[in-house]
Structure 1
Amino acid sequence: MKIAVIGGGSTYTPELVDGFARLGSMVDELVLIDPASSRLEIVGAFAARIFDHYGHPGKITWTSDLDAGVTDVDAAVIQLRVGGQDARISDETFPLECGCVGQETTGAGGLGKALRTVPVVLDVAERIRKRAKPGAWIIDFTNPVGIVTRALLDAGHKAVGLCNVAIGFQRRFAAYLGVDPSAVVLDHVGLNHLTWERRALVDGVDRLPGLISSFGQDISDMVDVPLSIVEMLGNVPSYYLSYFYNHDKHVRESLGAPTRGQRVAEIEATLLEMYRDVTLTEKPALLGERGGAYYSEAAVGLLASLYGHDDSAVHSVNVRNNGVLPFLPDHAVIEVSARAGLEGPAPLPVTPLAPDLAGLITHVWGYEELAVEAAIKGGRDRVYRALLAHPLIGQHEYADALADKLIAAGRDHLAWAR
């Protein structure tokens, strides 16, 4: 297989490359594509050393020419960041001026990222469709994954969204239980970055109640949600639910403090210097602080299943609803556990959700519908309406002010706003 990685100059790319080097025996060529040629050269050379270190027979190539890079690929992974870390830092700060959480995938910051990202990803996907092999899959890891995947599917692309939240829980639960991660099957459901683990099945037996009973405080600390909420729900919410359950706490802690984007920018600068070292052949430990744990395993595993190498594994993916959650329309994009094969992902059965989970999912889905429309069509009125619909904003005063701040901050990347 020939696989393209769009955004291949990212300092995070060696994590993905490491996964393919260890687990991706089906890969003949991995093409890294990025317009930042100087970064790409450093990351590409390091990626080649990783493949050599593991004795992988495939080759690493890299290019700044998107059209050339995606020609004749069997699959493409999109992991780009429009505007880089500077845009992320902006997303994490301007909402705080209105007393709203600053985060790059939810709230006003998440909408800002969606507006910048969706048009770029759609352009990239169209060029992939024209030049890749027929039937090539697009694996989207670009946030906000649910919104981006929805835009890709609406445009007729053969795409699936991927997130690393569930695989992180799977690894943690397996460690608690002393079993292989593949033995743990999660009942993972919701929208991207708005999910809950409702069951953790091992040999068909739900072990989650016992995990909450024995490791509740550790789980609570991991997801930054009070233990009382975890016990009341009887499930484990994604740590992104902390922005909903502890919104004002996050705002208070963020005021005057360095943003996550600032920390990542510092890590990236150090990583690039490390990658220049021609003796470095394995991903450095510092890369673990960059975020995206287990993404490589998730990506390699999903690709293997989609191309017929392993149709028994369960993956957590973003796909059309198609009746899985009866309270959402079929065209909605949800995040669920699914088995995947040559025909694509097939969600596992989902039992009815509790009203509080279903209600919050429906509310955020309404925002996402408006966010997709705003990202594709533009316009201040659409931006304002999406912000007003978001449960973390929801008031005219905030939505009105945030619309102007968001547009001003992202103007360089919003063609309709210039």
Structure 2
Amino acid sequence: MKLAVVGGGSTYTPELIDGFARLRELLPIEELWLVDTDPDRLRLVGGMSERMFRAAGHPGRIVPTSDLVAGVSDADAVLIQLRVGGQDARQGDETFPHECGCIGQETTGPGGFAKALRTVPVVLNVADVVRRHAKPGAWIVDFTNPVGIVTRALLQEGHRAVGLCNVAIGFQRRFAKLLGVDHTEVALGHVGLNHLTWERSVAVGGIDRLPDLLGAHLGELAEEIELPASLISLLGSVPSYYLRYYYAHDEVLREQLNAPTRAEAVRKVEHELLDLYADPSVDTKPEQLAQRGGAFYSEAAVDLIASLTGDRGDVQVVNLRNDGSLPFLPDDHVIEVSATVGADGVRALPIEPLPADLAGLIGHVAGYERLALDAAVHGGRDRVLRAMLAHPLVGQYERAEKLTDLLIAGNREHLAWAK
């Protein structure tokens, strides 16, 4: 099997390499091509990846390259993990919304919209190369945020794509630990849009253990997602920590205005990681990588690619077409739910009807996402303004206008239509 990672110079990549090395019986990679436009990162991350494979006794060949065509040619699957504009652009995403009293976040709200505008055209260009040069039927696995919007962009253009996020697998591992069972025994009733999800059930042996978890560990779970225990009790489900940007927007904004940005913290960690990757004696995943984020990312990626290429037919949480699963959304919208995964694709499991508050918020954000994708594909200030106004965390015309102009001014070099 040949696997290509586009954005392979990311400091995340050794997390992937660790999973590929540990789980090589599940995913027998013969060639792993790391594609990146940054030669320095490619050299450091590529060297580190090669040492990790050798130290683990993995027989696969790792090939760092800046040549996208060579990297994806004859690949069985291509994983895309890009950050267009790097941490500098992320710093902007996390700060410009503050000028209008909105949270600054790289996947949610105005900052997430900016990331989508920068990212969608680049990912679609990559996907076109994959379509021409990878093996017929090769899968594209999108780990590039905002995953829901980017995955829909790919599917809209007819690509064989599925989106991946590590939120669900993190919850699965956490719930398994609290219940004292192996994570493979835990099936989640995970539902929503990417970074807008709730865990509505936690089944072990076909029995929903969520009531037990809420009874015995409510305070602990509330502390982890930084939301009130009373809110979790009211909902009867466990929201993703990304719901804090909605349920506690003003509190989060106050915190952001009085603390360094996440981009600044990540930049510091990345410098430390790159120094470690440059050390020829380092051949195992550094502890500092845990601070970079992406917990269990490698396990999720291995599981997904193994099932897509090996036709295991197991259940995983992925981003896929709605196709009637949530009847209040268009069929072509992308949702994040539990699904069966096999060589012929992904199919959502049946979903119990959602309460009106969850369905309403999902529908509102989905409306924004559709307008955001239209703006990302076709460009134009009016499209950006309309999508900005539609976001539930914006919702006021004067604010949306100012945010639109700030977004365009700060991202002009990445927006072909705005140059």
Separation in 2, partners of 1:296, 1:92: 26
1:228-243 to 2 correspondences below 5 Å = 228-243=230-245
1:212 Cα deviation after fit = 1.1
Cα deviation per residue 1:43-73 (whole Å; 9 max; x = unaligned)?
A: 0010011111111111111101111111111
Q: 1:311 is matched by which residue type in structure 2? A: G
Counterpart position of 1:344: 345
Separation in 1, partners of 2:219, 2:91: 31
Separation in 2, partners of 1:299, 1:105: 20
1:309 Cα deviation after fit = 5.4
Counterpart position of 1:376: 377
Separation in 1, partners of 2:150, 2:224: 27
Cα deviation per residue 1:196-227 (whole Å; 9 max; x = unaligned)?
A: 00000000000011101111111111111111
Alignment partner of 1:307: what SS? helix
> Pick from 151, 154, 163: which aligns with 1:152?
154
1:13-412 to 2 correspondences below 5 Å = 13-25=13-25, 26-308=28-310, 310-312=312-314, 314-412=315-413
Q: Structure 1 segments of 4 or more deviating over 3 A?
A: none
Separation in 2, partners of 1:212, 1:299: 29
Separation in 2, partners of 1:215, 1:322: 35
Between 1:345-354 and 1:132-141, the stretch displaced more is 345-354
CA RMSD of aligned residues (A): 0.7
Q: 1:92 is matched by which residue type in structure 2? A: E
Q: 1:104 is matched by which residue type in structure 2? A: E
Question: Does structure 1 conserve the Cα–Cα contact (< 8 Å) formed by 2:311 and 2:343?
Answer: no
Cα deviation per residue 1:98-138 (whole Å; 9 max; x = unaligned)?
A: 00000000110000000000000000000011000000000
Alignment partner of 1:317: what SS? strand
1:348 Cα deviation after fit = 1.1
Question: Does structure 1 conserve the Cα–Cα contact (< 8 Å) formed by 2:189 and 2:200?
Answer: yes
Q: 1:331 is matched by which residue type in structure 2? A: D
Separation in 1, partners of 2:22, 2:2: 16
With the length of structure 2 as denominator, give the TM-score of the two structures: 0.99
1:81 Cα deviation after fit = 0.3
Separation in 2, partners of 1:257, 1:174: 33
1:329 Cα deviation after fit = 1.0
Alignment partner of 1:331: what SS? coil
Alignment partner of 1:278: what SS? coil
Cα deviation per residue 1:323-352 (whole Å; 9 max; x = unaligned)?
A: 100111111110000110111111111010
1:257 Cα deviation after fit = 1.9
Separation in 2, partners of 1:90, 1:50: 34
1:79 Cα deviation after fit = 0.2
Alignment partner of 2:95: what SS? helix
Q: 2:348 is matched by which residue type in structure 1? A: P
Separation in 1, partners of 2:141, 2:414: 23
Q: 1:356 is matched by which residue type in structure 2? A: D
- How many residue pairs match? The answer is 417
Separation in 1, partners of 2:12, 2:280: 18
Separation in 1, partners of 2:19, 2:241: 24
Q: 2:158 is matched by which residue type in structure 1? A: G
Counterpart position of 2:12: 12
Alignment partner of 1:188: what SS? strand
Separation in 1, partners of 2:61, 2:211: 46
Unaligned runs of 5+ in 1: none
Unaligned runs of 5+ in 2: none
Separation in 2, partners of 1:400, 1:225: 31
Question: Does structure 1 conserve the Cα–Cα contact (< 8 Å) formed by 2:118 and 2:376?
Answer: yes
Separation in 1, partners of 2:162, 2:13: 19
1:24 Cα deviation after fit = 3.1
Separation in 2, partners of 1:224, 1:24: 36
Q: 2:392 is matched by which residue type in structure 1? A: P
Cα deviation per residue 1:63-101 (whole Å; 9 max; x = unaligned)?
A: 011111111111000001000000001000000110000
Separation in 2, partners of 1:196, 1:89: 28
Q: 1:15 is matched by which residue type in structure 2? A: E
1:244 Cα deviation after fit = 0.1
Q: 2:248 is matched by which residue type in structure 1? A: N
Alignment partner of 1:60: what SS? strand
Alignment partner of 2:350: what SS? coil
**How much identity, in percent, do the aligned residues show?**
63
Separation in 1, partners of 2:76, 2:150: 21
Separation in 1, partners of 2:414, 2:224: 35
1:310 Cα deviation after fit = 2.8
Cα deviation per residue 1:348-394 (whole Å; 9 max; x = unaligned)?
A: 11010011000000000000000000000011111110010000000
1:238 Cα deviation after fit = 0.4
Separation in 1, partners of 2:414, 2:259: 26
Separation in 2, partners of 1:67, 1:308: 25
Separation in 1, partners of 2:266, 2:340: 33
Q: 1:275 is matched by which residue type in structure 2? A: Y
Separation in 1, partners of 2:386, 2:203: 41
